Amino acid sequence: MATDNANADGFGEVSRVRGIVFEYLSFGASVFGLVALGVLLVYVAIDAFDLANASPEWLLTYFLTLVVPFLAFCLYSANDRGVTRRALGALGGGLVAVAALFTAVETLVSPIPRLNWQLAYLFVVGAPATAYLAYVGSGGRVGAVGFGLLGRLVGGVAIGLAVGTLFLVFDPLLWFLAYTLGVLPAVGLYAVGRRRSTPRAQTAAAPVGLAGLIAAVVLRDVVSTYPSDLIIYLWTVAVPVAAAGGLLVAGRRGRTAAAVVAGLPLAVATAGGFLAAGAGLPAPTVLLVLVLTGVPTAAYVSRVVDAGEGLAGLGLPLLLGAGVIAGALIVEAWGVPAPDPWLDGSFLTGAPSRTPTDAGLYPAIVGSVIIIALVAVLSFALGVGTSVFLEEYTPESGPLGTLTRILQVNIANLAAVPSVVYGLLGLGLFANLLGLGIGTAVTAALTLSLLILPITIISAQEAIRSVPDDLRRGSDAMGATRWQTTKNVVLPEAMPGVLTGTILALGRAIGETAPLIMIGAATTVFRAPDSLFSRFSAMPMQIYTWAGFPQADFRYGVVAAGVITLLIILVGMNGTAILLRNRAERGS
Amino acid sequence: MASSHDADATGITRRKSLAAIASAGALGLAGCTQSGDGGDGGDELSGPINIAGSSTVFPLMSAIMEDFAEQHPGVDPDISSTGSGGGFSNFFCTGDTDFNNASRPIQPEEEELCADNGVEYVELIAATDALTVVVNPDADWIDSLTTEELAQIWKSDPVQTWDEVRDEFPNEEIERFGAADTSGTYDYFIEAILGEEGHTGDYQATEQDNTIAQGVSGSEYAIGYFGFAYYFQNPDQLKALGIDDGDGPVEPSLETASSGEYTPLSRPLFTYPSIESLGEEHIAEFARYFVEQTTNEDLVAGDVGYVPATEETQEEQLQTLEDAIEQAQG
């Protein structure tokens, strides 16, 4: 203040230079990280999909058959002349600008490795323009329907694959008994109890379920004949999912529609499952994917048809599918040289290998998915438990209050402990002392849960603290007990914040390598783990190993494919969690 | 307007078809059942094989495991690259792994640790490696070093500039990249070159050959050493130095290593199966398969870049192994 006015009298002019400089410095700071990360991702994508060897004709073909129809769909949905004009201007102008700039840099400064101006155009102009138009397009009714349908298709496939992966390590026979004897009777009792409003049936549900679970564990080795895996999945997953979908629709539209929504996908999935079994494919996974994709899709289509708005959006998956097929046909017919991507089907379903072209990530993908699922459950339960206790049950003053504050400071400090130290803790405590085994999935999941626990606790505490005290007092005034207040008021209100913290923490856990090395997780396994106590490898471990291989193909192509897979799974996981959170937000 | 006869006929048909459906259903269900004991029938080999140890042996062992896993779908092998010493002290001698790979023989402290925990083992030779000393490909002023000069560069109190090593070398600081002290490569380098003098601490230590290669290709005055495989796969990225052990400089290659000319840096690589584990049939079978594969030139030399074992060595190893298996199973 004083310096500003040092050589001015009264209300002199105040220099704006500093303000402007500060603004641009902060702009630079925010762009720096994004640009660096963007360049890295572009190069990783180029390596993983072998785009450096993609001919311009190949890029053009798919640009015309896939990207252009998609952009047209978005523009049609947005139905806004201004947007259309700007989009076409940006795409056309960007083409000229990027080509000119790229050529100028290459001739004047130095050649840019593994990039050509077509690729640069796609990444610098094409990708942002597509993202922007998708955002604008989703605002329109048609676009919303199209993206909603696409989301359910992709999400259903992803969840189906994830559930199928989890069933690899859990004994399906035990699950069959547990479901039939425990889960089904308990849910049935609860539903009947709610329908007829007999509280006794509702209270009986939990003990009945528990008794059923215990019976299942006891009977597991006694019973000698079980249905085949496919029938188990049909009975325990596909039928309930279809029934749930049907019930949802029945509430809105009556029985016929419900029967169609539930029955059609179920029939398709069952047929698909048996066909897959005949063809030697993993039938249970096919069944799960089909039913978890089919039921939500059918329910969504039925809702859209009911609403009668934006029906054209239902064509979006067809448009994209047709684009892919048309592109493939053109490439095939005219013999356009296509790139040979590292990230392909055999990479995702194959085992690691010494030859780069045969190398696959499947066992490590399964390992990572299983660990993350366990970590999510463990850290959520432990994190929410701790934070509720610290926020709701501990006194704020007196000696106990001091103790709580000391505890708080320690939890905050734990967040800064290096991950290697947690690895040592896991090796000593879980692997050796508790005998859970060196390098097993359980040990890894417990170790990683401890690692991210401070982050989940702190963020859950913040979320609980931000619930207004008025709500608690209001609940108290209605005569609610502390447990009822916590359950009905505090937790629902805090849930979105709690989930945000958990999502961030899980993102860290999936990429950790150091603690896994410490607990002796395998560098390479050749089969997917088949129990929680078998040794496993995780994606970051396998990627790190490949990065050290002597062959250049491993260090560039295979590693890049692994990184992209890891990122896709991370995004899928976060996407699911964010959807859940948004739902919780809307609910509360 | 159906007659009673017709009605009868349809009745029978219906009953028949119901019976047919029922029997088909029963047959179908019979085909859709499984027994509760997992169903691992027959004498097919099955079970896990846990291996840890040297990062130098890792590519060879994992290549052999890959083939073995392909041939025996019931076997579930896994391997960790922990360094020879890390594998012995953290996993093998505590009884947690079935094999430990090592790029140098087991050391007395490790023998003691294994004995304390009652872990018995047998030593098998896996292949021969030629420890390779590399410099930047632009360094045209250097082609070879004598073992004494090498010791001057890497001893615990090393020379600082290149012209102290040899007068005609440039007056530039030496940048060193080498194996970390958990690595068998480090131990072997001390044994073969440095002896009592000990290894310098003034260098970039890593378990990753790739990091050494990156470091050396970054500076014209850098020097590094690692196993032969990396140089074999990327001969243009780095320049391997000839080593003069008194009989003139010899460059590292599969030929010079197997003929014994490349001294003192050609070294045997080992794997140590635990005798208790060899009692399990699938592990014994894997150990036999491993020894058989050590003479496979396509795999050992072509895919990985080590020197395959000779037929005689293989015979001896097989004999040692069979004795151990007999001891374990008999």
| CA-wise closest residue to A312 among A180, A82, A140, A186 | A140
Residue B216 in domain: yes
Euclidean distance between CA atoms A494 and A390, whole angstroms: 14
Name chain B contacts of A226, Cβ cutoff 8 Å.
33-36
Residue B17 in domain: no
Last residue of a domain, one of B233, B264, B295: B264
- Tokens found for residue B301: 């030399």
Contact at CB, A530 and B69, closer than 8 angstroms:
no
User: Is B33 near chain A, with CB under 8 Å?
Assistant: yes
Whether residues B181 and B295 share a domain: the answer is no
Burial category of A168 from C-beta neighbours within 10 Å (exposed 0-12, middle 13-18, buried 19 and up): middle
Name chain B contacts of A545, Cβ cutoff 8 Å.
81
Whether residues B140 and B229 share a domain: the answer is yes
| CA-wise closest residue to B180 among B199, B165, B166, B162 | B199
Answer for the pair B54, B103: CB distance below 8 angstroms, yes or no: yes
Which B residues, 73 through 102, put their C-beta within 8 Å of a C-beta on chain A? 76-82, 90-91, 96
Name chain B contacts of A352, Cβ cutoff 8 Å.
62, 66
Task: Find the radius of gyration of the CA atoms of chain B.
Answer: 29
CB pairs under 8 A between A and B: 107
Whether residues B257 and B272 share a domain: the answer is no
Domains with residue ranges and CATH for chain A = 1-48 (no CATH), 356-587 (1.10.3720.10)
pLDDT at A1: 46
Name chain A contacts of B63, Cβ cutoff 8 Å.
354
User: Is B35 near chain A, with CB under 8 Å?
Assistant: yes
Answer for the pair B257, B305: CB distance below 8 angstroms, yes or no: no
Shortest distance between the Cα of B96 and any Cα of chain A, in A, equals 7
Shortest distance between the Cα of A348 and any Cα of chain B, in A, equals 17
| CA-wise closest residue to A408 among A333, A355, A461, A353 | A461
Whether residues B236 and B141 share a domain: the answer is yes
Residue B18 in domain: no
Burial category of B212 from C-beta neighbours within 10 Å (exposed 0-12, middle 13-18, buried 19 and up): buried
Whether residues B279 and B248 share a domain: the answer is no
Residue B231 in domain: yes
Instruction: List chain A pLDDT tens, one digit each, 588 residues.
Output: 444 545 545 666 777 888 999 999 999 999 998 999 999 999 999 999 988 888 888 999 999 999 999 999 999 988 888 989 999 999 999 999 999 999 999 888 888 888 888 888 999 899 999 999 999 988 888 888 999 899 889 988 988 888 888 888 888 888 889 999 988 989 888 888 888 887 787 788 888 889 999 998 888 888 888 888 888 888 888 898 888 888 888 877 778 888 888 888 888 888 888 888 888 788 888 888 999 999 989 888 888 888 888 888 888 999 999 999 999 999 889 888 888 899 988 899 888 998 888 899 999 999 999 999 999 999 999 999 999 999 888 888 888 889 988 988 999 898 888 989 999 999 889 988 898 888 899 999 999 999 999 999 999 999 999 999 999 999 999 999 988 999 889 998 898 888 888 888 998 898 888 899 888 888 899 988 888 888 889 999 999 889 888 888 888 889 999 999 999 999 888 888 888 888 777 765
Chain A positions contacting chain B at CB under 8 Å are 173, 220-221, 223-231, 351-355, 438-439, 517, 520-527, 530, 534-537, 545, 547-552, 555
Whether residues B118 and B157 share a domain: the answer is no
Q: Report the residue of chain A nearest B32, measured CA to CA.
A: A228
Name chain B contacts of A230, Cβ cutoff 8 Å.
32
- State the residue for tokens 């023989």: B105
In this structure, the number of other CB atoms found within 10 A of the CB of residue B149 comes to 19
Contact at CB, B76 and A526, closer than 8 angstroms:
yes
Contact at CB, A525 and B303, closer than 8 angstroms:
no
Residue B27 in domain: no
User: Is B208 near chain A, with CB under 8 Å?
Assistant: yes
Contact at CB, A526 and B233, closer than 8 angstroms:
no
Shortest distance between the Cα of B78 and any Cα of chain A, in A, equals 4
| CA-wise closest residue to B209 among B224, B190, B219, B222 | B224
User: Is B296 near chain A, with CB under 8 Å?
Assistant: no
pLDDT at B149: 92
Contact at CB, A355 and B303, closer than 8 angstroms:
yes
Last residue of a domain, one of B215, B238, B264: B264
Residue among B32, B82, B209 whose CB faces A548 most closely:
B209
Residue B38 in domain: no
Residue among A173, A439, A520 whose CB faces B36 most closely:
A173
| CA-wise closest residue to B254 among B298, B304, B307 | B307
Name chain A contacts of B29, Cβ cutoff 8 Å.
227
Whether residues B242 and B150 share a domain: the answer is yes
pLDDT at B3: 43
Last residue of a domain, one of B264, B288, B308: B264
ipTM: 0.79
In this structure, the number of other CB atoms found within 10 A of the CB of residue B218 comes to 11
Whichever domain contains B313, its CATH number is: 3.40.190.10
Euclidean distance between CA atoms A174 and A14, whole angstroms: 76
Q: Report the residue of chain A nearest B209, measured CA to CA.
A: A548
Name chain A contacts of B33, Cβ cutoff 8 Å.
225-228
Q: How many domains does chain B have?
A: 2
User: Is B318 near chain A, with CB under 8 Å?
Assistant: no
Q: Report the residue of chain A nearest B64, measured CA to CA.
A: A354
* Residue numbers of the domain that contains B166: 132-264
Euclidean distance between CA atoms A233 and A253, whole angstroms: 28
Residue among A220, A534, A551 whose CB faces B233 most closely:
A551
Whether residues B229 and B292 share a domain: the answer is no
| CA-wise closest residue to A244 among A165, A299, A287 | A299
Residue B19 in domain: no
Q: Report the residue of chain B nearest A521, measured CA to CA.
A: B80
Instruction: Name the H helices within A308-440.
Output: 316-333, 345-349, 362-388, 398-414, 419-425
Contact at CB, A523 and B58, closer than 8 angstroms:
yes
Residue B12 in domain: no
Whether residues B87 and B137 share a domain: the answer is no
Whether residues B114 and B193 share a domain: the answer is no
Whether residues B210 and B317 share a domain: the answer is no
Residue at A292: amino acid letter: L
Instruction: List chain B pLDDT tens, one digit each, 330 residues.
Output: 444 444 444 445 566 656 656 655 554 555 567 766 554 444 578 889 999 998 888 989 999 999 999 999 889 999 998 888 889 988 899 888 999 999 889 999 999 999 999 999 999 998 888 889 999 999 999 999 999 999 999 998 899 999 999 998 999 999 999 988 878 888 889 988 988 888 888 898 887 888 898 899 889 999 999 888 888 888 888 999 999 988 889 999 888 888 888 888 888 899 999 999 999 999 999 999 999 999 988 888 888 888 888 888 899 999 999 999 998 887
Beta strand B33-35 pairing with B47-53: unpaired
Whether residues B251 and B147 share a domain: the answer is yes
Name chain A contacts of B77, Cβ cutoff 8 Å.
525-526
Euclidean distance between CA atoms B79 and A426, whole angstroms: 20
Contact at CB, A550 and B230, closer than 8 angstroms:
yes
- State the residue for tokens 């027959």: B42
